[in-house]
Chains A and B, each alone.
Chain A
């Protein structure tokens, strides 16, 4: 494997959740098409932002890439390992190399465990320390790394504020010395003054350890700040992906254009002069998504073929990917 090979490669990823009916005889009556044919890759050391509105499937993409949900179809390769077929030692290797930071620092930490136990757990599972002493030292080092005092090692999660809890989650994710970290809305439950602390910490850690991030978020301003490239999702499919400033300054897909125009800007003069592309209606159900382009029912630029043909996901030049017939 060469250095230019992307660290993460996802091809044609599909994830459907079956809808079943019946108690004794369960039969499948439909499927939530949460993710449908998603393709992207992430280079070593870069941060790919994955954005979209609630229910668009961005969290499902993250969890399926890590194998937390079994994929319905497609290929997922992390550092040369095929996630869908890995077993035994190879599966353990993937789990060590790829970690996740969750949105809710309240729900993702075991309330009965001390910080020491939480942060030390991956060290135990992956047998990364020779003895208890070494493990303890490593836990303290990790706590220091994320800006928590090692004196708090025997405290429980409820004794910490939201921002500190998110730091505990980050320390746990870093314990196994991963290459790749999926950050699933890591700051959306935090107050503004705390968000910047956590984002700056993520940047510092990336620089120090050469981490690769998939940053899943709905805060488009923060994504522009933090990410190298940005991918936009709508109703289970990717609609656009490009270098950060390319997406924000020259969005090609009508959904990206309206999404960006809807983000409020903290500047009253800009707010007054900005043109919004307001969308009609709301996002349809992923149980029975519209045929053709999934956005065509709300698209201000839709034409006849958009209702029947699914637009291809293609590179229109310079690594700017888009799925739209009009582009």
Chain B
């Protein structure tokens, strides 16, 4: 049985108007997030994964940005049509975000304690003493040793991994229904990344929130996600349950990406399969499939028409004209 729908994004298009020309960052993407579900958005730098998230949260500077079209229904309201005040309420309380660099969202001149208690007072209406006790609980909950004493510390006094924990504690304080995590472990070493992933998985179970995890790391996706969207040049090119995506990838880009990855748990059996060329410039208005110039299955139609994202199996969608299993057009 499918869980209730929480977020429904349709036909989102975001562009940036720059001196070099228009950047076609997100080109009409649609997806759904259900309650308690963990969705991963995976792709390489510049594929539009962060911009698409920031668009629905009203975090794109306009101008130079422009949200050309789209709706983002959260419960029964459209995030793209909310006032700044309404959005601020949603962002702090219902949809939480953690970023790659926690310093961008922590205030460097306020102690960690001050920042957490202020937020608890504002969003949860707590009294100062109550908020301070809750802050200690929160820091202990995310595994920060000696939490009460550390409330008096400033963000720079924490290491990278500990700072990310502080950030997570702050963001989960109001028990949000969605957590959006934008490459939160990318700047961390693997042993610290493993600690943070274990923490997030534990908290997800305790809070029961839905998650959108943005990353370029397919290993992280495999360990965390239930559903995966693969993005390329501002388009979603494949969407599937995590097991199907890794065992039965159907879009040529996903197939190529997985074949380009070495495995830490297996002996080398072949040369890596590399993908020729590089992702396209986003300054050119997309025409046809953006992966066509690098695709080994390319057919004539790919050059002129962008394929829509369509179901090819239960809960498995691709945007591709080709059937990679049989060869030739689908």
Contact = CB atoms under 8 A, between A and B. Distances in A.
Interface of A: 53-54, 161, 163-164, 191-197, 199-200, 203, 218, 220-222, 224-226, 244-245, 248, 258-272, 274, 276, 278-279, 282-283
Interface residues of B, number: 45
A271 B223 contact: yes
B274 A266 contact: no
Contact of A266 (B191, B258, B273, B278): B258
Listed from nearest, the 6 A-B pairs whose CB atoms lie closest are A264-B219, A225-B262, A262-B194, A196-B274, A53-B189, A191-B44
B297 interface: no
A268 B220 contact: no
Given A259-B190, A264-B219, A267-B246, A222 B278 contact: no
Given A191-B216, A192-B44, A264 B222 contact: yes
A260 B159 CA distance: 22
Contact of B222 (A163, A193, A225, A267): A267
B242 interface: yes
Nearest to A53: B189
B260 A196 contact: yes
A192 B261 contact: yes
A325 B191 CA distance: 23
Interface in B254-273: 256-258, 260-265, 267-268, 271-273
Nearest to B220: A264
Given A221-B219, A279-B195, 13 more contacts: A163-B278, A164-B278, A192-B260, A196-B272, A200-B272, A224-B262, A224-B263, A244-B268, A248-B264, A265-B219, A265-B263, A269-B243, A270-B222
A83 B275 CA distance: 40
Interface centre among A220, A268, A279 (most CB of B within 10 A): A268
B223 A264 contact: yes
Given A191-B216, A224-B262, A278-B198, A53 B44 contact: no
Contact of A259 (B191, B217, B275): B191
Contacts of A259: 190-191
B198 A276 contact: yes
Contact of B243 (A192, A195, A268, A278): A268
A53 B191 contact: yes
A203 B223 CA distance: 30
B161 interface: yes
Given A200-B271, A264-B222, A268-B222, A193 B260 contact: yes
Interface of B: 44-45, 159, 161-162, 189-195, 197-198, 216-223, 242-243, 246, 256-258, 260-265, 267-268, 271-276, 278-279, 294
A263 B263 CA distance: 10
A3 B189 CA distance: 39
B190 A197 contact: no
Contacts of A263: 190, 219, 264
Contacts, number: 130
21 contacts: A191-B44, A192-B218, A192-B257, A196-B273, A196-B275, A197-B276, A225-B268, A226-B262, A260-B264, A266-B218, A267-B263, A268-B222, A268-B223, A270-B222, A271-B219, A276-B198, A278-B191, A278-B198, A282-B159, A282-B162, A283-B189
Given A200-B272, A221-B264, A263-B219, A279 B191 contact: yes
Interface centre among A163, A200, A221, A265 (most CB of B within 10 A): A265
A218 B159 CA distance: 19
Most buried by B among A244, A245, A269, A270: A270
A193 B296 CA distance: 14
Contacts of A269: 243
Nearest to B273: A196
B221 A266 contact: yes
A199 B272 CA distance: 8
A241 B315 CA distance: 46
A268 B268 CA distance: 20
Nearest to A283: B189
Nearest to A276: B194
B173 to A, nearest CB: 24
A195 B264 CA distance: 16
Given A191-B44, A193-B44, A221-B263, A262 B274 contact: no
Nearest to B195: A278
Contacts of A164: 278
Nearest to A203: B271
Contacts of B294: 193
Contacts of B189: 53-54, 218, 283
Contacts of A267: 222, 246, 263, 265
Contacts of B267: 245
B246 A194 contact: no
A258 B260 contact: no
A251 to B, nearest CB: 12
